């Protein structure tokens, strides 16, 4: 079985710190773009590699993190 360490995943607050944005902005990212997993105590957990993949998939040239986090409909 695969074993995970604390540094492999982040809470929504940790993701917000990493992306330099608000917790609300992280929560608005659609799950098909950034998967979240149920953790203990109804907390959402995000795998660090999923976060890095999400950032790599965003188009270059966004002027602010808020623009980078928006998803066009």
pLDDT digits (tens, 9 = 90+) for 2-54: 555 678 889 999 999 999 999 999 999 999 999 999 988 888 999 999 999 99
Residue 43's Cβ-side half-sphere holds a number of Cα atoms within 13 Å equal to: 12
Q: Residue 2, SS3?
A: coil
d(C-alpha 43, C-alpha 64), whole Å:
27
d(C-alpha 49, C-alpha 54), whole Å:
9
Query: DSSP per residue over 19-37, as a string?
Result: HTS-HHHHHTS-TTTS--E
Q: Report the pLDDT value the prediction gives residue 62, as an integer from 0 to 100.
A: 56
Paired residues of 38 in beta bridges: 44
């Amino acid at each position: 079985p695969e074993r995970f360490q604390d540094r492999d995943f982040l809470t929504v607050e940790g993701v917000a710190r990493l992306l330099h944005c608000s917790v609300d902005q992280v929560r608005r990212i659609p799950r098909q773009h950034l998967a979240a997993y149920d953790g203990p105590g109804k907390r959402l957990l995000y795998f660090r590699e999923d976060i890095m993949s999400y950032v790599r998939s965003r188009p270059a040239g966004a002027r602010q993190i808020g623009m980078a986090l928006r998803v066009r409909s």
